[in-house]
Amino acid sequence: MRRLRAAKDKAARYLMLGIGIFTILLLLVIGLSLFFKALPIMREKNLWVLLSSADWKPFKGDFGFLPFILSTFYVSLIAIIIALPFSILTSIYLNSYASKNVRRFFEPVIDLLSGIPPVIYGVWGTLTIVPLIANKIAPRFVEFSSGYTILAGGVVLAVMIIPLLISIMVEVFRSIPKEMTDASLSMGATKWQTVKKVILRKSISGIIAATVLALSRAFGETMAVLMVCGNTAKIPHSIFDAGYPLPALIANNYGEMLSMPSYESALMLSAFLLFIIVVLFNGLSRFTLNQIERRYQF
């Protein structure tokens, strides 16, 4: 009886270990299978040429990924530049200023926002943001813009990641002990001084972590961005040019490339690139966070 219990205990332990390892292996398996599928095109062409060329003519056999890589970065960058101040200020308001009732109203609404399917954001972007840029914003800066632009993608993406950022940051700010803000307030600091000098300072690593998470999401967001970005395989020279991020490339062309092996392999390479970007980016930010925490151990 006792032996059976011990055996069960052991079995449970190894079962869970196995499942855990399987989850991690999954990441590896996905990465490897993408890599092997992308291998033919990398054998056929120099990888550096693939990455740095802007020529994308699949039917002639030219596969230059630069426009897609740049579009991915530009769109995500614009999204985070717009979303960060919005979400930091909103979460500070919710955490330090808002009354309980306001918070009780806001927080479920924000959670709801992050649950809206991306395609709805895409439709909204097409109906409002794209015309707004084409008719009102772009004419101030450039001669012509269709509205289907990097900027439109960035704005729609920003709207999509703001709820995510807010709900993480509210948690980050909430984790600051009340004694700490009280210590600042009791010395006669105003709320705003306390926010600037204590709350933001204390939560800097949390804010960075939230940003990383949001950016990872932004890199991979497909549907909404695809709908408003214009999808032209050219290097965008301004935010009023059309862009073509990697996920949109894959989603748009997967299926129709089956007749051409090198095209298929090229698309697999773009998926692999996206995978590597997200993994590298996560690793890099983890490293930076560690550095920050080590340097300012507050």
Partner 1 sequence: MISTNQHMVSSYTNSFIGMDEAITLKKLIANQSIRIENLDVFIEDQHILKNVNLTIPEKSITCIIGPSGCGKSTFLKTLNRMHDESPEVKISGKVFVDDENIYGPHVNVIDTRKKMGLLAQRPCPLPMSIFDNVAYGPRIHGIKKRKAINQTVIQYLQYVGLWDEVRDRVRKSATRLSIGQQQRLCLARGLAIEPEYILGDEATSALDPLSTKKIEALFVKLKEKYTIILVTHTLRQAKRIADHIIFMYLGKIIEAGPTEEFFNNPKKQLTRDYLSGSFS
Give the CA radius of gyration of the chain.
23
Instruction: Take residue 89 and report the two structure tokens written for it.
Output: 């200020």
- Residue 55 touches partner 1, criterion: CB under 8 A: no
The stretch near partner 1 (CB under 8 A) out of 64-72, 194-202, 240-248, 255-263 is 194-202
Q: Which residue in 182, 152, 161 sits closest to 116, CA to CA? A: 161
d(CA 225, CA 218): 9
Print the binding letters for residues 197-226 with partner 1: x by CB under 8 A, - otherwise: xx--xx------------------------
The number of residues that bind partner 1 (CB under 8 A) is: 22
Residue 23 near partner 1 by CB under 8 A: no
Binding flag, residue 296, partner 1 (CB under 8 A): yes
By CB under 8 A, residue 252 contacts partner 1: no
For the CB of residue 95, give the shortest distance to partner 1 in the complex, in Å.
13
Q: Between 191 and 234, whose beta carbon lies closer to partner 1?
A: 191
- Interactions with partner 1, residue window 127-186 (CB under 8 A): 177, 179-180, 182-186
Please give the single-letter amino acid code of residue 232.
T
Return the structure tokens found at 242: 């059309």
Place of tokens 């990872």: 216
**CA 190 – CA 96 distance, rounded (Å):** 11
Instruction: Give the Cα separation of 86 and 273 in Å (integer).
Output: 30
Q: For partner 1, which stretch binds (CB under 8 A), given 5-13, 36-44, 134-142, 196-204?
A: 196-204
Supply the minimum distance, in Å, between the C-beta of residue 100 and partner 1.
Answer: 8
Q: Does 104 bind partner 1 (CB under 8 A)?
A: no
Provide CB contacts within 8 A for 137, sequence distance 6+.
151
Write the Ramachandran bin of 131: left for phi over 0, alpha for psi from -120 to 50, otherwise beta. Answer: alpha
b (16+ CB within 10 A) / e for 111-124: eebeeeebeebbeb
Phi, psi of 79, rounded to the nearest 5 degrees: -60, -45
Asked if 288 touches partner 1 (CB under 8 A), the answer is no
Closest approach, Cβ 175 to partner 1, in A, equals: 12
By CB under 8 A, tell whether 14 contacts partner 1. Answer: no
Q: Which of residues 73-102 bind partner 1 (CB under 8 A)?
A: 99-100
Structure tokens, 35: 């890599």
Q: Which amino acid is at 253?
A: N
Q: Is 259 in the site for partner 1 (CB under 8 A)?
A: no
Question: Would you count residue 291 as binding partner 1 (CB under 8 A)?
Answer: no
Q: Which stretch, 20-28, 192-200, 206-214, 249-257, contacts partner 1 (CB under 8 A)?
A: 192-200
Contact residues for partner 1, defined by CB under 8 A? 99-100, 177, 179-180, 182-190, 193, 197-198, 201-202, 296-298
